[in-house]
Structure 1
Amino acid sequence: MAKVIFITGGVRSGKSAFAEYYAKQLYQELERSSLYYIASGVAVDEEMEMRIRRHQKDRENSAIKWSTIEIQDDPKLPENISPKQSVILWDCITTWLSNILYITEHLEANARMLEIEKYLVKLKKLFISWKKNDGIILLVSNEILDEPASSYAEANYYRRLLGELHQWIVHYSDEAYEMDYSKVERWK
């Protein structure tokens, strides 16, 4: 049975650094065969481009070899990964969901909701299939639900989807952490 670890926190909270450190530690301690990094961030501006480059450089300079799978432009799920005897770090679920909303925005409202739901169902099925294997999966996401409701319907729809997804993931997780100012709080 796989171990699922959920890590959330605000922007610049230290969650990615914590997740990478924890993934490498588990990879070494448990003598796993593969270490995967699923990247879903999109360089929409200069700051995000610099952050992505920093994460890439950190992995390149690591003493441990990461196998990176990029899913920014096409948020199809990385179904070809077998978590058996692997450690998988996905950074991050928040940007993956943002990418889904972006690529479906041209659809009529009902068709869009159905398409988004298809992605979410596929994601949940993938997590369930991963959980049946002997791997370790670390899922990183952003905590945006502490903010007040937006005056924009799209932002509130996104918050609702993300909140429901977080609850679902935590329910199936073995561990759940929240980062704040590089400090870790374990909730599960």
Structure 2
Amino acid sequence: MAFTLLVTGGARSGKSSYAEARTLALGQPAHYIATSEIWDDEMAERIAAHQARRGPEWVTRAEPLDLVTALRETDDAPRLIDCLTLWLTNLMLGDHDWEAAAKRLLAVLPELTAPVVFVTNEVGLGIVPDNRLARAFRDNAGHLNQWVAAAADEVVFTVAGLPMKVK
């Protein structure tokens, strides 16, 4: 089984920058598997900023739903999945069975040979959301993060740009 790292933290905690550096330290070139979809102009700007920060040592692949195929097809170099919470959003908003997709993702990890770094958001530290969908998302993200953390070799929590090893 390949080395697996989960990097979590709040919004703008430095988790993506940290995960990018850790992934490149595992080997270059590396695959950047982006789960975000462009929903509006602001999201397009965010994606462009992320892409501009990355150099030629990255091979970028957009994959909003099928992470299992993306991982299998990129098992020749380290991979960074950024991020699991956007992947969960895509699954939930598309009325996909997110739990089945998560189980398939966890099942493929022992088959892989190249390292995998996951980025995810820690969404359970704030107030209880005021609507059903937001509460379901928070709860589902919490479960997904726990499952991936249990499977990971290492878990890092970032806060204010500082990484803290949790596992």
Structure 1 length-normalised TM: 0.80
Which protein is bigger by CA-based radius of gyration? 1
After TM superposition, what 4+ stretches of structure 1 lie above 3 angstroms from structure 2? none
Deviation at 1:82, TM superposition (A): 4.4
Structure 1: gaps spanning 5 or more residues: 29-33, 105-111
Q: For 1:44-93, what per-residue CA distance to the aligned partner results, in whole angstroms no more than 9, with x for missing partners?
A: 3333222210111222xx252x2211013xx1222542425x20100000
How many residues are treated as equivalent by the alignment?
A: 165
Structure 2: gaps spanning 5 or more residues: none
Query: Taking structure 1 as reference, are residues 174 and 80 closer, same or farther at Cα in structure 2, changes over 3 Å only?
Result: closer
Q: CA RMSD in A?
A: 1.8
Q: Distance in 2 between matches of 1:152 and 1:90?
A: 28
Q: Distance in 2 between matches of 1:79 and 1:2?
A: 11
Q: Distance in 2 between matches of 1:79 and 1:175?
A: 18
Identical columns (%): 30
Structure 2 length-normalised TM: 0.89
Q: Distance in 1 between matches of 2:17 and 2:157?
A: 13
Q: State which of 144, 161, 164 in structure 2 corresponds to 1:182.
A: 161
Mapping of 1:11-160 within 5 angstroms?
11-27=11-27, 34-59=29-54, 62-64=55-57, 66-72=58-64, 75-77=65-67, 78-84=70-76, 86-104=77-95, 115-130=97-112, 133=113, 135-160=114-139
Q: State which of 126, 142, 149 in structure 2 corresponds to 1:170.
A: 149
